[in-house]
A and B are shown apart, each in its own frame.
Chain A
Amino acid sequence: MNRFDYIRPASLEEALAAGARPGAAYLAGGTNLLDLMKVGVAAPALLVDVTRLPGLDAIEETAEGDLRIGAMVRNSDIARAPEIKALFPMLAEALLSGASAQLRNAATAGGNVLQRPRAALLDGMRGDDRDLAVLGWTDACACVHPSDFAVALAALDARLEIAGAAGLRAVPLADFLSLPEGAAEAVPALAAGELLTAVVLPAAAARVAGHARYVKLRERTSFAFALVSVAAALEMEGGRIRSARLALGGVAHKPWRTPAAEAALAGAAPGPEVFARAAALALEGAAPSGDNAFKIELARRLVARALALAAAGTPARVPALPASPLDADHGAPAYV
C-alpha cells in the first residue's frame, strides 16, 4: 500500500480540521478501508484515526427520548446492548447475521453504514449477476449495498448525525445514499471533512419491537453477504397492523424502503394474502440487471416470509442462526 501519514486527534474539532485536508480519510474499525488500501483501490495520504474521540463510543438516550448510537460503537457491542435488544431487536439480528465475529468486534456503527460495495474491490469488473441489483440500478451501477445493519436502520427511520465545520446536521438514512448519473456506486451525502458521528433511532420506531425480524438469504450460513435480505417490522394493535416498516437488502445500491407496500399493510389483518400483496408492491419496478431475474421472485417470497415471521412475534432472544429462515426454533414459516 502507499505511504501515508497517520494521526490520532484528541478532539472532534481537531479531527474535522484534519479530515478536511486533501487526501485525508477517517479510520475507524478499518475492516473496509484497510482492505481497499491493500489492493490499492483507496490510497489516502492521511489517515485520521477517530476511534478514540470522546463522545462517540456510547449508546445513550437523547433529550427527545431517541436512542443515539455513537459512530465508534463496535458492531458486536451494539448487538449486545440491553437497550438495543429491548427496543430494536431487529438491529441485533441484522448485525449478528453480518460478517464474522472477529469483524463485528472491530467494525463500528459508522463504518458499517459507510462501507463501500464489494464491487469496489472488483477493479472495474462487473460482479457476478446473482450479486447484482434488481431495483434502482443504472447502466453504470448495478452493485448492491453490502450492509445488513443499514437495511434494518432504514426500516427503523434512523437518522445519521453528521459533524462538519458548521456544526451538526442530521440526515435520514434513507436519503443518505444517492446514485448520480454515471456513478459506479452510491455516494454518501457527506461534504469533504464531514464526519459521521452517530446513528439515531427515533423513539417511535421502538413501537415495532415486538414484531420485527431481519431475514437474510445466502448459501453459506454465516460470513456471507445477502443474496436478498428483508427487514420487516409491524406495529400491531388489536390483532391488526397499525403500521408497517419494510426494507430490502442485496437488491439495490442502497437499503430499499417500500412505501407502497407499507401503506398496503397499514390497517390490514395479518395473513398470507395481505403479505403476498405487500410483497408484490415491494418489488414493483424491479427488473433484472443480468441473469438475475430469480432475485425478484426470491425477494417477493422473502418479503412475505419476513412479514409472516414478524407477525408471529420477535423471538425472546436473537436466534442461534441469526436472520436465517432455517433456524430450527425461530424460522418457522408461520403462514406457509
Chain B
Amino acid sequence: MSDAIPTPEHARFGSNSGEALSRRDGHDKVTGAATFAADNTPAGTLHAVYAAAGIARGRVLTLDVEAARAHPGVVEVMTPADPPKLAMDPENKFHGFAFRFDCLQNDRVRFAGQPIALVVGETLEAATEGARLLAPTYEAETPGMGFDAEAPYAPEAVGIGAAPAASKGDMEAGIAAAAQVIETRYETPAQYHNAMEPHAVVAQWDGDRVTLDMPNQAPVMSRPMYAAFLGIPPENILIRTPYLGGGFGSKAIVNGPQMLAVLAARKLGRPVKLVLKREQMFGPVGHRGATRQDLRLGLDAEGGLTALEHKALSVTSRFDEFIEPAANASLHLYPAPAISVSHQAVRNDVGTPAPMRAPGEAPGLTALECAIDEAAAAAGLDPLAFRLRNYAETHPMTGLPYSSKALRECLELGAERFGWAGRPMAPRTMRDAQGRLLGWGLGVAQFPATFFAAAARATLRADGTALVETSGVDMGQGAWTALAQIAADGLGLSIDRIEFRSGSSDLPDAGIAGGSGHTATAGSALHSAGVDAIARLAEIATEDPESPLFGAGNSGTVAKDGRIHRRDDDSRSESYADILARAGHATLVGEGSASRPASAGEQHAFFSHGAVFAETAVDPDLGQVRVTRMVGAFAAGRVINPKLVRSQLEGGMIWGVGFALHEEASHDPVTGRVRNGDLAGYHVPVHADIPELTVLTVDEVDPHVNLLGVKGVGELSITGAAAAVANAVAHATGVRPRRFPIRMETLIG
C-alpha cells in the first residue's frame, strides 16, 4: 500500500519543488516489489472470467451453462437468465461520468466484446475454460459500422458536458472576404487506451461493506457511483488503488466487467478477482471514437486568417454517448474574425467511447495543425512564419488574456534547437545521403490548464515528521513524487521527513487523476494543508511565553527545515517537535482544499502550450516512414519536477508518433469485432520507432492559473506531435496524408 513505500534518502534540504527527484516508487516498480490491485489475493479468493459477445448486435440465444457448471472447479455461472440485482439501473445517466454498462440484465448484445455471462471458479484456469464452454449462439443483426453507417445527428453535448458548437463573427462574410479558401478533410481511427495494467478488481465483502482493490483514476468520485448501484452507503465502500499501471482516461468509469465481479463476490460470499484479458480491453472499457473532420480556412492576401471553420463527425455507440470533441480544438489557438466549430455524431454498434489521452485535442489539433500547414503553403509562407502571423495574443473567442502563454518562445526555442531556419518551402526537395526523402514538420501543442477540486490533510507528528494524505493516484506519471515535493514545501520539511499516503477512497478527495490537472489540483490542496498545519503550530508557539517565538505574532514567522523562525530574527527559532512536545500535542492536523473560483474563467484563459518539430525520412519508392528526430519545446507554468515533466512530455511525443504512424483499431465490417484486438495486431511504437527526443521547457511564471503556478503536462505534447510528424511526411513527399495512421499505400503514389 501507499505508506509502505520506503522513503528514499535524499541528502538535501530547503525547497523540494523544482528538484529532479527520481520517482519514490521507481525502485519498487522496476524490482517487482510494487503490488498492483490485482496482485492482492485474499484467502479464499475466487476467479471470475466473463464470456464476451462475438457479435456486435443482436441477442444471445443459447449458453451451455450446464457444460460450464460441470467443468471441475467452476463455482458459479451468472447469466441474464438470473440477472444480478442492482440498486439502480445501469442505464441511468445520473452523473457526468456515468456511462451505460452491461451487467447481464438482459440478453441483448450491443457491441462485440460485451460481457454475456460470468463464470467464477476456484482457479483462473477453471473459470477460463468454463467461460469457453458456454459456446454462445446468437441471433445476429447486421452491425452499423463506420462514418456512413447511418445518418449523423447533432449531439446535445460533446466530451464531458461541453457545448457541441460555438461560433463568433460571420463565417460566410469571413469566407467571402478571403483571398483564398482552403477546404480540407482529415480522418482519425478508433484508438484503444491499452494501458499496460489491464482493468481489474479484487472485491471483498464484509456484511454490507466492501473493499475494492482496483486501478481507479478517481477513487473518491467512484465511491458514490458504486454505492448507488450496490445500494449501500458510500462510506461502506473502500476503493484502494495502490498503484495504477496507466489509465489514460479509461479507469475513471464504472464498467460492466468490474461491476460483475463485485456482484459475484457479494452473491458468493467470497472474495472475487477479475482481470481483463488483453483482448477484452477492446470493448467494454472505452476507446477514442473515430473522427472525420472538415476544416475551412479563409486567408487574406497577407496570409491572415479571415475565417476558421471546423466540423467534426465523431463515432459513438448505439446506446450511449461520448462524442470526441475534436472540433473544439479550433476555439483556442488562432484568431480569426469568424470562427465556427460544430459536431455531429454517428451511432455504431461499438462499445461506448470514453475520454482518452487529450480527448478532442489529440485528433482535433492534429487536423487543425495539418490544415494550418496547408494554409501556410497556400499563402506562400513558412509554417512557422504563418503561425506567428496568426498568433493569438488574447483568446480568439472571448478576447480574454491568457493567464500566461509562452508559445512564441516555444516556437522560437524549438525552431532554433531543431535548425528550422533554411527549411525549403517546396516539398520533396530534401534528401539524405541514402537518397531518402526528408521532411520537416511543425505542430503546435495546446491543452487547457484544468483545475478540479481537491482536499488534503497534513499531520505534524511528535517526532517532527509529518503524514500527508490525499486520495490522489499515481498512474505512472509520478504523482506521488511531485505531490510529495509540494507537500514537503508546504510544511517546510525535507521530503524525507514526510510520509505520503494516497491512492485510497477513505482519504481526502484529491479529485480525478486526469485532464492533466492532478498536480495542480491535488498539489494546491496539499500545499494548503501544510500551510494550515504550520499556521496552527506557529500560533501555539507565538502565544507560548516559553517559546523563543513568543510574541512574534506581529512580525510573523517563517517555517523551514522543520523549524519555525521569527521573520525579523532568523536566530530565534524552535523545532516543530519541541513546540508540539511543550504544548502536549501528539499530533497537529492541518486541512487544505483547493478549487478554481468560477470568476477566474471570466478574467483569464488557462492553457499550456508547446511546439513540436519533427524530421521524417521517407523511402521514395516504398513509402516507408521513419521519424529521425524530434524537438519539443513546452511552456506549462511552474515545473515541480523537471525529470518527471520531461518523461511526461517525451511520453506524449511518443503517443503522437503512434497516432501518426501506428495506432488503429480495425473493425470487421461483418461481425463488428475488432480484428486486431491484441498487442500483436494493435500497434503502438516500439523503441526502434522512436528517435532521439529533445524536450525543452520554457519558463512561465503564472500568478493567475492557481496557487502554485502549475499547469499540466500529461496530455500536452501528444496534441502537437502527431501533426508535426504528418506535416514532416507531407514536406518530405509532397503527398498530404488525410487519414491516420499514415500508410505506405498513401505515399507510394
Instruction: Kindly state the separation between the CA atoms of A324 and B688 in the bound complex, as whole angstroms.
Output: 11
Told that A125-B671, A219-B683 touch, could you supply 17 new A-B pairs with CB distance under 8 A? Answer: A1-B132, A2-B129, A118-B680, A118-B681, A217-B622, A217-B744, A220-B683, A220-B689, A221-B626, A221-B689, A301-B621, A304-B621, A305-B622, A326-B626, A332-B433, A333-B435, A333-B619
B390 within 8 A of A: no
CB-nearest residue of chain B relative to A221?
B688
CB-nearest residue of chain B relative to A123?
B54
A127 within 8 A of B: yes
A122 touches B435 (CB 8 A): no
| B674, chain A: closest CB distance, angstroms | 10
B686 touches A220 (CB 8 A): yes
| A240, chain B: closest CB distance, angstroms | 25
B686 touches A223 (CB 8 A): yes
Most chain B beta carbons < 10 A, residue from A128, A221, A294, A305: A221
| B625, chain A: closest CB distance, angstroms | 8
28 contacts between A and B (CB under 8 A): A1-B129, A3-B129, A40-B132, A118-B681, A125-B671, A125-B673, A128-B666, A128-B676, A130-B743, A217-B744, A219-B624, A219-B625, A219-B662, A219-B743, A220-B661, A221-B626, A221-B686, A221-B689, A223-B680, A294-B745, A297-B748, A301-B621, A305-B622, A325-B622, A326-B619, A326-B624, A331-B619, A336-B435
* 8 Å CB contact of A331 from B434, B676, B743: B434
Within 8 A of B (CB), among A107-126: 118, 121-123, 125-126
Residues of A with C-beta under 8 A to B741: 219
B26 within 8 A of A: no
Q: Which 7 A-B pairs have the closest CB atoms?
A: A221-B688, A294-B745, A326-B626, A125-B668, A222-B688, A332-B434, A128-B666
A328 within 8 A of B: yes
Residues of A with C-beta under 8 A to B125: 1
Residues of A with C-beta under 8 A to B673: 125
Instruction: Kindly state the separation between the CA atoms of A209 and B228 in the bound complex, as whole angstroms.
Output: 70
B675 within 8 A of A: yes
| B-to-A contact residues, CB < 8 Å | 54, 72, 125, 128-129, 132, 279, 432-436, 617, 619-626, 661-662, 666, 668, 670-671, 673, 675-676, 678, 680-681, 683, 685-689, 741, 743-745, 748
CB-nearest residue of chain A relative to B690?
A221
Instruction: Kindly state the separation between the CA atoms of A302 and B661 in the bound complex, as whole angstroms.
Output: 20
A298 touches B619 (CB 8 A): no
Within 8 A of B (CB), among A311-336: 321, 324-326, 328, 331-333, 336
CB-nearest residue of chain A relative to B131?
A40
Per-residue CB proximity of A274-305 to B under 8 Å, as 1/0?
Answer: 00000000000000000000100110011011
Instruction: Kindly state the separation between the CA atoms of A294 and B622 in the bound complex, as whole angstroms.
Output: 11
Q: Is the interface of B mostly helix, strand, loop or mixed?
A: loop
Residues of A with C-beta under 8 A to B745: 130, 294, 298
Instruction: Kindly state the separation between the CA atoms of A324 and B686 in the bound complex, as whole angstroms.
Output: 14
Residues of B with C-beta under 8 A to A324: 624
CB-nearest residue of chain B relative to A224?
B683
CB-nearest residue of chain A relative to B626?
A326
Instruction: Kindly state the separation between the CA atoms of A130 and B689 in the bound complex, as whole angstroms.
Output: 21
Instruction: Kindly state the separation between the CA atoms of A304 and B743 in the bound complex, as whole angstroms.
Output: 21
CB-nearest residue of chain A relative to B125?
A1
A227 within 8 A of B: yes
B675 touches A122 (CB 8 A): yes
CB-nearest residue of chain A relative to B279?
A39
Interface residues on A, range: 35 or more
| A-to-B contact residues, CB < 8 Å | 1-3, 39-40, 118, 121-123, 125-128, 130, 217, 219-224, 227, 294, 297-298, 301-302, 304-305, 321, 324-326, 328, 331-333, 336
Instruction: Kindly state the separation between the CA atoms of A294 and B675 in the bound complex, as whole angstroms.
Output: 21
B434 touches A127 (CB 8 A): no
CB-nearest residue of chain A relative to B620?
A336
B626 touches A305 (CB 8 A): no
Instruction: Kindly state the separation between the CA atoms of A126 and B435 in the bound complex, as whole angstroms.
Output: 38
CB-nearest residue of chain A relative to B683?
A220
Instruction: Kindly state the separation between the CA atoms of A32 and B675 in the bound complex, as whole angstroms.
Output: 17
CB-nearest residue of chain A relative to B71?
A3
| B743, chain A: closest CB distance, angstroms | 7
Residues of B with C-beta under 8 A to A222: 686-689
B621 touches A333 (CB 8 A): yes
CB-nearest residue of chain B relative to A40?
B132
* 8 Å CB contact of A128 from B624, B675, B748: B675
A220 touches B685 (CB 8 A): yes
Residues of B with C-beta under 8 A to A39: 279
Instruction: Kindly state the separation between the CA atoms of A274 and B687 in the bound complex, as whole angstroms.
Output: 37
Instruction: Kindly state the separation between the CA atoms of A136 and B566 in the bound complex, as whole angstroms.
Output: 87
| A182, chain B: closest CB distance, angstroms | 19
Instruction: Kindly state the separation between the CA atoms of A221 and B683 in the bound complex, as whole angstroms.
Output: 11
Residues of B with C-beta under 8 A to A127: 675
Residues of B with C-beta under 8 A to A328: 432, 434
Evaluate whether A125 and B670 lie within 8 angstroms (CB atoms) in the complex, with A294-B748, A301-B622, A305-B621 already known: yes
Residues of A with C-beta under 8 A to B744: 217, 219, 227, 294, 298
CB-nearest residue of chain A relative to B688?
A221
| B278, chain A: closest CB distance, angstroms | 10
Instruction: Kindly state the separation between the CA atoms of A220 and B620 in the bound complex, as whole angstroms.
Output: 17
Residues of B with C-beta under 8 A to A227: 744
Residues of A with C-beta under 8 A to B748: 294, 297-298, 301
Instruction: Kindly state the separation between the CA atoms of A122 and B674 in the bound complex, as whole angstroms.
Output: 9
CB-nearest residue of chain A relative to B689?
A221
| B735, chain A: closest CB distance, angstroms | 13
Residues of B with C-beta under 8 A to A304: 621
CB-nearest residue of chain B relative to A119?
B675
Instruction: Kindly state the separation between the CA atoms of A325 and B618 in the bound complex, as whole angstroms.
Output: 10
Residues of A with C-beta under 8 A to B678: 121
Instruction: Kindly state the separation between the CA atoms of A331 and B622 in the bound complex, as whole angstroms.
Output: 12
Instruction: Kindly state the separation between the CA atoms of A331 and B741 in the bound complex, as whole angstroms.
Output: 24
* 8 Å CB contact of B435 from A219, A321, A332: A332
Instruction: Kindly state the separation between the CA atoms of A222 and B687 in the bound complex, as whole angstroms.
Output: 8
Residues of A with C-beta under 8 A to B689: 220-222
B129 touches A125 (CB 8 A): no
| B136, chain A: closest CB distance, angstroms | 12
Residues of A with C-beta under 8 A to B432: 328
Instruction: Kindly state the separation between the CA atoms of A1 and B623 in the bound complex, as whole angstroms.
Output: 42
Instruction: Kindly state the separation between the CA atoms of A312 and B619 in the bound complex, as whole angstroms.
Output: 18
Instruction: Kindly state the separation between the CA atoms of A326 and B437 in the bound complex, as whole angstroms.
Output: 11
Residues of B with C-beta under 8 A to A333: 434-435, 619-621
CB-nearest residue of chain A relative to B617?
A326
| A1, chain B: closest CB distance, angstroms | 6
Instruction: Kindly state the separation between the CA atoms of A222 and B624 in the bound complex, as whole angstroms.
Output: 13
CB-nearest residue of chain A relative to B434?
A332
Residues of A with C-beta under 8 A to B671: 125
Residues of B with C-beta under 8 A to A121: 678
A298 touches B622 (CB 8 A): yes
A302 touches B626 (CB 8 A): no
Residues of A with C-beta under 8 A to B621: 301, 304-305, 333, 336
Residues of B with C-beta under 8 A to A217: 622, 624, 744
A125 touches B675 (CB 8 A): yes
| A99, chain B: closest CB distance, angstroms | 9
Residues of A with C-beta under 8 A to B676: 128
| A294, chain B: closest CB distance, angstroms | 4
Residues of B with C-beta under 8 A to A301: 621-622, 748
Most chain A beta carbons < 10 A, residue from B433, B673, B681: B681
B743 touches A126 (CB 8 A): no
Instruction: Kindly state the separation between the CA atoms of A223 and B624 in the bound complex, as whole angstroms.
Output: 16
Residues of B with C-beta under 8 A to A321: 688
Residues of A with C-beta under 8 A to B435: 332-333, 336
Instruction: Kindly state the separation between the CA atoms of A273 and B670 in the bound complex, as whole angstroms.
Output: 44
Instruction: Kindly state the separation between the CA atoms of A324 and B617 in the bound complex, as whole angstroms.
Output: 13
A219 touches B622 (CB 8 A): no
* 8 Å CB contact of A220 from B54, B129, B662, B675: B662
CB-nearest residue of chain A relative to B132?
A40
CB-nearest residue of chain A relative to B623?
A298
| A21, chain B: closest CB distance, angstroms | 21
Residues of B with C-beta under 8 A to A298: 622-623, 744-745, 748
